[in-house]
Chain A
Amino acid sequence: MPAASASPSLLLRLLLSAALALVISLALVGLAVDRGFRSASAGALEERLASTVFLLLSTLDVTADGRPLVSDGLAEPRLTQPGSGLYAGVLTESDDWQTPSLTGVLEPPRPVRVARGEERFIGPESDGRFFLYALGLGWEQPDGDIVEMTLWAGEDPERYRAQVQAFRADLWRWLGLAALLLIVVQSLILLLSLRPLRRVAREIGEIEAGQRDRLSGAYPRELQPLTANLNALLMSERDNASHYRQALADLAHALKTPLAVMKARVESGDSVAPEATADELARMERLIRRQLERAARSTRRTLNQPVAVRPVLERLADSLERLYRDAGVVIEVAGDERIRVRADERDLMELCGNLLDNAAKYGRGRVLAEVRTGPAGAREAGVEIRVEDNGPGLDAAAFARLLERGARGDEQAEGQGLGLAIALQLVEAYGGRLDCEASATLTGAAIVARFPPR
């Protein structure tokens, strides 16, 4: 057999596709978590800066000339520690005030003024050097004047960035680890699940090498139809091969006798009567026909499509009524049209044709052909094809004798017995059997072909 170009193994395909799906989904999860973390951090930052502004506001006073005055002892120590990264201040029209933490900072934040009642937040989305929160308000003096001011708080983004980076590093490390673990587990599962398939392949190899004759052992339920059918196919192949060999040997052996007779006659130099040659020829012809038919019929049949039986019976009934028109044979067909048999249609027609032909020939003009499912109660019933006639009937011994003579190809059994023997071979090739019963409706013989459930 020429090797087909190899396509990637099932294991490789499954592994690659599962790993790809896993990596993509974990990456998406990572991105979503990262985004969530950043947005939560920005929210927390804004809240922190806003509370710093309100802390400042709680200690704020304004002098009569409108300058901001912040009492000592701010509750947040980072505001008093120079270069701490957290800064705040107050902007008025006349003066600015800043927290001691800005002392010595070379590039301090540049807060913007905000109108009274407004607030502004410059967060990580902007590319400013500082995160800033600013609140605009008006301070009412005892004389009724309003001092416009902006309170602000700012933070060095370095701290935030470090936090995010640390979180990211952690996140991706754990996700990577999870992916690795999942891929390993998945591979193990796949290897385990595909093991029976590898076993099938190995056992088939061993069958080819002649080391075993069938697939053995318990296979998972999903594979059992495959292995059972393979075993059936192997069996029938082996059976068929031996049947054909046997048939050829039988034929060769059987033909040698008449050939020898004819050869001897020719070599004897005596004049040979044409009738004698004709007899030998007829004998050879019969032998060839019988052996060919037997070889073809006794092969085991597997993996057939189901065929509806009733249409086959109806076609045969029409044809036989035509053939036996002079005898006025009437063939009645009964049974459910949906009943099917797993058999080759040609075989089914041959089987039913022989049974119906016998009934038409040896009955007294009435034939009933019926298909029905086998005995009730069985989980999956087989199929019965009954052919009944109104002839003299057939007892068990006579039936067995006819079958025996038919199988032997006995001259006297050319008619009924041969047809029955063919029918028996066919139904046996499908694991069924042929029975002879008494017809209840037509009082003659009822020949029943029984197919087993499948």
Chain B
Amino acid sequence: MRILVIEDETELRELMGRALKREGFAVDLCADGAEGLYFATEYPVDLAIIDLGLPGMSGMDIVRKLRGRQLRYPVLILTARSDWQDKVEALELGADDYVTKPFRLEEVIARVHALLRRSAGHAAAEVDLGRLSINLSAQEVRLDDAILDLTGFEYKVLAYFAHHVDQVVSKMELNEHLYDEDADPDSNVIEVIIGRLRRKLDPEGDWQPIETLRGRGYRFRPERD
């Protein structure tokens, strides 16, 4: 999943970037409001963390503009003010949640997980997909109740699929949402990872949860009728 962080305080921005990357997210960092709006509207963002007091353009304006362009991904607001007036204004503009500064990074990460889960339609951290269950907070995957050992990147791909169940996901989309802006992945890498994931999820070959759609990409269908 790809997270955009718009925060002008350099140290805080870098810290959040590192923490989110450790959680397996692809992260774009922005220090300025106008640049942030460009990223927020032009990049395939899954969630944005926006500071309210930004140079160039206020966080509120960015939220208003991206909601005005029908971009519906979750937005987490960072604010130094804890008044309900400010919170309500941000939420009314289209933000989904807020964190008051100063905050603990763990709290931001927890909110990010909760918002992503909610945007995929999962109410709880535990996502039940038939034989497969994924705990999005603990990043733990169980197949037939046994813990499945996945590499970091395999988990990222599977988690992205879990957020897009029954949807067609192109290789390009996976690239965009799983890699940072400056990374230059070999397109074969995705194919290799999908192959490994298939073998781990379906060693017998009788389930086939990941379909290949020729020329279009993949479709994750863990629970077929």
Tell whether A and B belong to one assembly: yes
Known A-B contacts A285-B102, A322-B91, A323-B91; the reply to A346 vs B96 at CB < 8 A is no
- On whether the beta carbons of B114 and A349 are closer than 8 Å, the reply is no
- On whether the beta carbons of B83 and A315 are closer than 8 Å, the reply is no
- On whether the beta carbons of A349 and B123 are closer than 8 Å, the reply is no
- On whether the beta carbons of A350 and B92 are closer than 8 Å, the reply is no
- List the B side residues contacting A318 at CB < 8 Å: 91-92
Shortest CB-to-CB span from B123 to chain A, Å, is 5
A199–B83 Cα gap in the complex (Å)? Answer: 43
- On whether the beta carbons of A322 and B84 are closer than 8 Å, the reply is no
B123's partner among A289, A326, A350, A352 (CB-CB below 8 A) is A326
Question: Contact size class for A?
Answer: 10 to 19
- On whether the beta carbons of B118 and A349 are closer than 8 Å, the reply is no
- In the complex, which residues 280-313 of chain A have their Cβ closer than 8 Å to any Cβ of chain B? 285, 289
- On whether the beta carbons of A316 and B84 are closer than 8 Å, the reply is yes
A349's partner among B82, B84, B91 (CB-CB below 8 A) is B84
B161-191 CB mask vs A (1 if < 8 Å, else 0) is 0000000000000000000000000000000
A299–B92 Cα gap in the complex (Å)? Answer: 29
- On whether the beta carbons of B118 and A325 are closer than 8 Å, the reply is yes
Chain A residue with Cβ nearest B90: A319
- In the complex, which residues 330-362 of chain A have their Cβ closer than 8 Å to any Cβ of chain B? 345-346, 349-350, 352-354, 357
Shortest CB-to-CB span from B83 to chain A, Å, is 6
Chain B residue with Cβ nearest A316: B88
A346's partner among B82, B85, B114 (CB-CB below 8 A) is B85
B92's partner among A319, A326, A346 (CB-CB below 8 A) is A319
A325–B124 Cα gap in the complex (Å)? Answer: 11
Shortest CB-to-CB span from A347 to chain B, Å, is 9
- List the A side residues contacting B123 at CB < 8 Å: 326
Chain B residue with Cβ nearest A278: B104
Interface-centre pick from B84, B102, B114, B123 (highest chain A CB count, 10 A)? B84
A350–B91 Cα gap in the complex (Å)? Answer: 15
B97 interfacial by beta-carbon distance below 8 Å: yes
- On whether the beta carbons of B84 and A350 are closer than 8 Å, the reply is yes
A353–B88 Cα gap in the complex (Å)? Answer: 9
- List the B side residues contacting A315 at CB < 8 Å: 88, 92
- List the A side residues contacting B96 at CB < 8 Å: 322
Shortest CB-to-CB span from B105 to chain A, Å, is 12
- On whether the beta carbons of A349 and B85 are closer than 8 Å, the reply is yes
- In the complex, which residues 58-105 of chain B have their Cβ closer than 8 Å to any Cβ of chain A? 82-85, 87-88, 91-92, 96-97, 102
Known A-B contacts A323-B97, A326-B114, A326-B118; the reply to A346 vs B88 at CB < 8 A is no
Chain B residue with Cβ nearest A354: B84
- On whether the beta carbons of B83 and A346 are closer than 8 Å, the reply is yes
A21–B87 Cα gap in the complex (Å)? Answer: 61
B87's partner among A285, A319, A326 (CB-CB below 8 A) is A319
A interface: dominant SS:
helix
A417–B13 Cα gap in the complex (Å)? Answer: 33
Shortest CB-to-CB span from A57 to chain B, Å, is 104
Shortest CB-to-CB span from A304 to chain B, Å, is 15
B96-121 CB mask vs A (1 if < 8 Å, else 0) is 11000010000000000010001000
Interface-centre pick from B85, B92, B124 (highest chain A CB count, 10 A)? B85
Shortest CB-to-CB span from B219 to chain A, Å, is 27
A162–B102 Cα gap in the complex (Å)? Answer: 102
- List the B side residues contacting A354 at CB < 8 Å: 84
A354–B85 Cα gap in the complex (Å)? Answer: 11
Chain B residue with Cβ nearest A281: B102
B8-31 CB mask vs A (1 if < 8 Å, else 0) is 000000000000000000000000
A354–B84 Cα gap in the complex (Å)? Answer: 8
Shortest CB-to-CB span from B197 to chain A, Å, is 29
A51–B96 Cα gap in the complex (Å)? Answer: 110
A357–B82 Cα gap in the complex (Å)? Answer: 13
- In the complex, which residues 173-222 of chain B have their Cβ closer than 8 Å to any Cβ of chain A? none
- On whether the beta carbons of A353 and B92 are closer than 8 Å, the reply is no
- On whether the beta carbons of A349 and B83 are closer than 8 Å, the reply is yes
- In the complex, which residues 124-140 of chain B have their Cβ closer than 8 Å to any Cβ of chain A? 124
- In the complex, which residues 32-49 of chain A have their Cβ closer than 8 Å to any Cβ of chain B? none
Chain B residue with Cβ nearest A328: B123
A345–B86 Cα gap in the complex (Å)? Answer: 12
Shortest CB-to-CB span from B136 to chain A, Å, is 13
A40-70 CB mask vs B (1 if < 8 Å, else 0) is 0000000000000000000000000000000
A353–B86 Cα gap in the complex (Å)? Answer: 11
B84's partner among A289, A326, A353 (CB-CB below 8 A) is A353
B88's partner among A285, A319, A325, A326 (CB-CB below 8 A) is A319
Shortest CB-to-CB span from B225 to chain A, Å, is 28
Known A-B contacts A319-B92, A323-B91, A323-B97; the reply to A345 vs B118 at CB < 8 A is no
A353–B81 Cα gap in the complex (Å)? Answer: 14
Shortest CB-to-CB span from B46 to chain A, Å, is 18
A285–B82 Cα gap in the complex (Å)? Answer: 14
Chain B residue with Cβ nearest A356: B84
Shortest CB-to-CB span from A258 to chain B, Å, is 15
Chain A residue with Cβ nearest B102: A285
A345–B96 Cα gap in the complex (Å)? Answer: 23
- List the B side residues contacting A353 at CB < 8 Å: 84, 87-88
Shortest CB-to-CB span from B95 to chain A, Å, is 9
User: Which B residues contact A (CB, under 8 angstroms)?
Assistant: 82-85, 87-88, 91-92, 96-97, 102, 114, 118, 123-124
- In the complex, 5 of the A-B residue pairs with CB atoms within 8 angstroms, ordered by the A residue number, are A319-B91, A323-B97, A325-B118, A350-B85, A352-B84
Across the A-B interface, the 3 shortest Cβ-Cβ residue pairs? A353-B84, A319-B91, A319-B88
If A318-B91, A350-B83 are given as contacts, then 12 extra A-B residue pairs at C-beta distance below 8 Å, sorted by A number, are A285-B102, A315-B88, A319-B91, A323-B97, A325-B118, A326-B123, A349-B84, A349-B85, A349-B88, A350-B84, A353-B87, A357-B84
